[in-house]
Amino acid sequence: MSKAFFLTGTDTEVGKTLIAAALLRAAAAQGLKALGMKPVAAGGAEDVEALIAAGNVQAPREAVNPYLLREPLSPQLAARRDGVKIDVEVIARRFDALRGRADFLVVEGAGGFRVPLTDTQDGADLAARLGLPVVLVVGLRLGCLNHALLTEEAIRARGLRLAGWVANRIDPGMACATENVDTLRARLSAPLLGVVPHQDRPDPARVAALLSLPA
């Protein structure tokens, strides 16, 4: 039976695509058919390309990335500027089509968990519609404790399970980074899947060796 996860972050620019790609590479290295999905990409296709490169399963691009928006804004605003309306049901149908192709599927959300997708729906609504356990990328910087704990509360409020979290050191000068990780280990309900050191040139292949796959 295939496993699928919704990957989100404590904020934007915390390394979600890096971790999603690394998890796909780790799954592929274990002999699994690994496939990534980026339902909404705003500001270019780089994230989509990274997921495609990390997986080992061919899939139609319109299923992997139903909505490609031009400007690096919140999806709701970027879609409005492009004259597009994001439809969660369209994303759900594309997800269903992809799920049968892979043993391990990662759906990477946009921004943080509650980022608006439309005037009435957000990333949490999408995760709930797909009904997937969640992997949380915690960007290690000042404020990450609050952001991580609030995100887990939001995940639970949608009736979803936090399957694991990854600590990604995005601020190389952060004070007490290890202590912050230890605090989250004690307070978050899910296992720590890995700690990723700061990298000037992030490499999913290197990061893959640092991560455990979520159960």
In a 13 Å sphere around the CA of 57, the CA atoms on its Cβ side amount to 24
Structural domain contains residue 214 = no
Is 215 within a domain?
Answer: no
Number of domains in the chain: 1
Choosing from 3, 16, 33, 38, the catalytic residue is: 38
For the chain, 215 residues long, give each residue's pLDDT as a single digit of tens: 689 999 999 999 999 999 999 999 999 999 999 999 999 999 999 999 999 999 999 999 999 999 999 999 999 999 999 999 999 999 999 999 999 999 999 999 999 999 999 999 999 999 999 999 999 999 999 999 999 999 999 999 999 999 999 999 999 999 999 999 999 999 999 999 999 999 999 999 999 999 999 99
3-state DSSP helix/strand/coil % of the chain, to nearest 5: 40, 20, 40
- Structural domain includes residue 116: yes
Residue 213 lies in a domain: no
Q: What is the DSSP secondary-structure string of 15-59?
A: SHHHHHHHHHHHHHHTT--EEEE-SEEES-SHHHHHHHHH-----
Q: Reply yes or no on whether 38 is catalytic.
A: yes
Taking the model in full, what pTM does it have?
0.97
138: domain CATH number is: 3.40.50.300
Q: In which domain, by residue range, is 42 found?
A: 3-208
